[in-house]
Amino acid sequence: MAENEDGQERTEQPTEKRLREARERGDIPRSRELATAAVFGAGVLALVAAGPMLGRHALGWMRQALSPDPMLREAPERLLAHTGTLTLGLLAVAAPLLAVCLAAAFAGPLAMGGLRMASKGLVPDLKRLDPLAGLKRIYGPEGLAELAKSLLRVALVGAAAGLALLHGLDVLRAMPGQGLEAAARTGLRFAGSLLLATAAALLLLAAMDAPYQKWNWLRKLKMTRQELREELKETEGRPEVKGRIRQLQLQLSQRRMMEAVPTADVIVVNPTHYAVALKYDGGAMRAPTVVAKGVDEVALRIRELAERHRVAVVSAPPLARALYREGQLGQEIPVRLYAAVAQVLSYVYQLRAWRTGAVRAHPQLGPVAVDEFQEGDGR
């Protein structure tokens, strides 16, 4: 089992946060064998597929390069420009092959873990200069794995090349009796088959190395139980931080609730311990809505705000307690309390009319009948 610096075993799989942090600092799985096989194999396939075309262009370039230019004798200063033209022509001939190899160089990393430019990876790390760490890498498990991989590479490439040579001995023996052009074509075909066999060996090695590199990368990122607990605390938040967040949320909720009190139609109170603010707009609401509620100090603040903004305060203890217990902020009151609340609102509307002089008799609120301990809300 892998261990950390404290000697604890890394038995837990890495979390998504740990994997993301590793990628951000440039620590992603890489397989040199896959990159080598991709570039070499793509180059060989491009040569085999486009060999005749590349050969014609290369032959034309060679004829141009070997043809004497009489003007150079009369104007030697043009030699540098002529050399540049020939160089550009050679690059144009090799450009398709170079483009295929360049694309394959990006395909290898993409297949493993994607391309990522990490600035953290450019920061100098003095630990890499530690000779003890270097010896540990060379003679440790990773060093042994690299040695085994190197030996396997030699064995696979050697076996593939040997089989290609053995299969092509008869072709090679027949070449001395052929004409120049026929012998050249035979030699090129044999070279192509040899390169294809070598590419197949490298591809087989890459198919074994890529999964190993991915597994080894995940193994190095494994976590101890303590690291997992610490990350869980950081992700979910430490208790003191969560408590502070809840306190701020409560304060924000109460502030919003108090801002809604002046817009209420009535405040139903206990009269001292409970206070519930109700608002009803017949054109926009199906039923009265609870906009604020509280007990003790919060109830006192609600009553003070109501008096300051001339909002009607009605004492109905059973109804106040039932509304506080069953009503939810921002939601309609329970159906079973409709009749009692309608009685209170009717009284409030009559009280407003009396204050404006629309009616002469002072309204009276009769007993508000409600069973505050009834189970369920009737919805």
Query: In terms of Cα–Cα distance, which of 367, 375, 269, 369 is closest to 321?
Result: 269
Q: Place 129 in a pLDDT band, splitting at 50, 70 and 90.
A: low
Query: In terms of Cα–Cα distance, which of 5, 221, 22 is closest to 121?
Result: 22
Mean pLDDT of 253-257: 82
Question: How do residues 169-184 score in pLDDT, each as one tens digit?
Answer: 887 788 788 777 787 7
Report the pLDDT value the prediction gives residue 155, as an integer from 0 to 100.
Answer: 92
Q: Given a cut of 70, is residue 37 above it in pLDDT?
A: yes
Q: Place 379 in a pLDDT band, splitting at 50, 70 and 90.
A: very low
Question: How do residues 199-213 score in pLDDT, each as one tens digit?
Answer: 899 999 988 888 888
Mean pLDDT of 256-277: 87
| Separation between Cα atoms, residue 108 and residue 22, nearest integer Å | 19
Q: Given a cut of 80, is residue 75 above it in pLDDT?
A: no
Q: Which has the minimum average pLDDT: 120-129, 157-166, 228-237?
A: 120-129
Question: How do residues 181-201 score in pLDDT, each as one tens digit?
Answer: 787 778 778 888 888 899 899
Report the pLDDT value the prediction gives residue 327, as an integer from 0 to 100.
Answer: 87
Cβ 195 vs Cβ 228: under 8 Å = no
Q: Given a cut of 80, is residue 7 above it in pLDDT?
A: no
Cβ 34 vs Cβ 202: under 8 Å = no
| Separation between Cα atoms, residue 17 and residue 242, nearest integer Å | 20
Cβ 260 vs Cβ 49: under 8 Å = no
Question: Would you state the structure tokens that stand for residue 42, as one six-digit string?
Answer: 């793509």
CA dihedral of residues 56, 61, 67, 72 (deg, nearest 10): 160
| Separation between Cα atoms, residue 295 and residue 274, nearest integer Å | 5
Instruction: Give the start-end residues of each E strand in 20-146.
Output: none
Mean pLDDT of 10-28: 81
Residue indicated by tokens 């088959």? 193
Q: Which has the minimum average pLDDT: 176-180, 241-245, 318-322?
A: 241-245
Q: Percent of the chain, pLDDT > 70? A: 85
Mean pLDDT of 70-84: 76
Q: Place 276 in a pLDDT band, splitting at 50, 70 and 90.
A: very high
Report the pLDDT value the prediction gives residue 84, as an integer from 0 to 100.
Answer: 84
| Separation between Cα atoms, residue 100 and residue 314, nearest integer Å | 85
| Separation between Cα atoms, residue 269 and residue 319, nearest integer Å | 8
Could you tell me where the DSSP H helices lie in 221-337? Answer: 225-236, 239-260, 297-308, 317-326
Question: How do residues 323-375 score in pLDDT, each as one tens digit?
Answer: 888 888 888 888 888 888 888 888 888 888 888 877 777 777 877 877 777 65
Mean pLDDT of 206-222: 87
